[in-house]
Amino acid sequence: MPDIRTDKAPAPVVQSFNEWDPLEEVIVGTVLGATYPECGPVLAAAGEPDWLWHYQGVLVEEESVQAAHEQLEELVSVLQGEGVTVRRPDPFPHNVGYSTPFWQCRSGWNTANPRDLFLVVGDEIIECASPMRHRHFEPLAYRRLFTDYFRAGARLTSAPKPALRDALYDHNCRGADTGKRIHPEGQPRRYPITELEPVWEAADFVRCGRDLFVIRSVATNALGIEWVRRHLGSGFRVHEIKTRCATPLHIDTTFVPLAPGKALVNPDWINVAELPECLRKWDVLQAPRPTYEPESPMASPQFSSQWLSMNVLSLDHERVVVDAQQHKLIRKLEEWGFTPVPIHFDHFGPFGGSFHCATLDVRRRGKLESYF
């Protein structure tokens, strides 16, 4: 672990309060060893393909893994070229089944998206309480790395490990029930997880200093949101963003803060008039529709949404890493005063994310502020 010092005191090895301060250190995931996940209630509710039932626990084809790996390594190269320290998780046997006293699972999935499972607030790394059984032991791939951060002064916290009993799930909540991707207005929303215990995934939260924004999703229930709110305490405010997505999962395809006073939103899933009051003075930038090439694996995604187009990573207040195929978004970012950094990243999409998901910023150069 680097010993980064100032004239007065050691700099914190973990410190990140928002999505845009200058990036200094980041964890980047890996697709190596990825398997097809078990299609549990959460994935079933998201409308995952029927063929998945026949491939649970099978290693993903080497051709797909290698294509995504090469694009991921290009991201690492660009980050390192900008002087950013890059850390990686340890190898993990995702093709091994496991069980608890209450259930068993055929396999894990991958270690591609550290943002999904960990929330960094200041000098604290918080492990989430995911409701996905196939991700139950995925955090162990980061244990050695986080122990090093702890030795260097960071705080480590884990939300109560959920039991994930069958009663947590609505097993009849299927993707077919939702029909269109936009939830019908005025109809009650149905989630595949109940309020039996607090469950949440970290990628349903984004940070703007003392204010965090969250969506309730197929992986985050109301109790999970309340756990985060109470844990952070009175020094922070947690605001819920309403989404019209029929099967919402992770906020970074819906609402993405880019800089103080500027946020990117999904025009299909966000009604600007329903945003929290504190955002009314911000510039709300509507993302253009995704533009993937016909031969791209994201032309018809299986495990994600084409709106991963807006799943960008800010290097600082101006520079934004964006998928090179998103020509419309690149032009819009330039019009809005940003400097896009285009990288081809569409082969990573089938592994569940894009730039924001694939990274976990553990140190940004800045301090805790209120932007509202």
Structure tokens at 291: 């533009």
- Considering 26-30, 171-175, 278-282, the range whose residues carry the highest mean pLDDT is 26-30
Render the burial of 255-269: b for 16+ CB within 10 Å, e for the rest: bbbbbeebbbbbebb
Specify the amino acid at residue 101.
P
Residue 103 and residue 166 in contact, taking contact as beta carbons nearer than 8 Å = yes
pLDDT of residue 20: 98
What CA–CA distance (Å, rounded) separates 137 from 145? 15
Specify the amino acid at residue 141.
A
Specify the amino acid at residue 124.
E
pLDDT of residue 55: 83
Mean of per-residue pLDDT scores for the chain: 92
What CA–CA distance (Å, rounded) separates 284 from 104? 44
pLDDT in tens, 76-131: 999 999 999 999 999 999 999 999 999 999 999 999 999 999 999 999 999 999 99
Residue 316 and residue 36 in contact, taking contact as beta carbons nearer than 8 Å = no
pLDDT in tens, 337-371: 999 999 999 999 999 999 999 999 999 999 999 99
Per-residue pLDDT at 300 exceeds 90 = no
- Whole-prediction pTM: 0.93
As a whole number, mean pLDDT of residues 301-319 equals 92
What CA–CA distance (Å, rounded) separates 172 from 33? 31
Per-residue pLDDT at 246 exceeds 90 = no
Dihedral sign from CA coordinates of 334, 344, 72, 106: positive
Nearest to 75 by CA among 311, 364, 260, 331: 311
Q: How confident is the model at residue 184 (pLDDT cuts 50, 70, 90)?
A: low
The angle at the Cα of 212, spanning 207 to 217, to the nearest 5 degrees, equals 105
What CA–CA distance (Å, rounded) separates 368 from 172? 43
The region of weakest confidence among 185-189, 219-223, 234-238 is 185-189
pLDDT of residue 8: 56
Residue 122 and residue 17 in contact, taking contact as beta carbons nearer than 8 Å = yes
Three-state DSSP state, 250: coil
pLDDT in tens, 92-104: 999 999 999 999 9
Pairing of strands 319-323, 313-314: antiparallel
As a whole number, mean pLDDT of residues 273-278 equals 94
Sheet holding 124-127, edge to edge: 118-121, 124-127, 155-158
What CA–CA distance (Å, rounded) separates 336 from 52? 41
Per-residue pLDDT at 243 exceeds 60 = yes
Radius of gyration, alpha carbons of the chain: 19
Three-state DSSP state, 157: strand
Kindly report the number of other CB atoms within 10 A of residue 162's CB atom.
Answer: 20
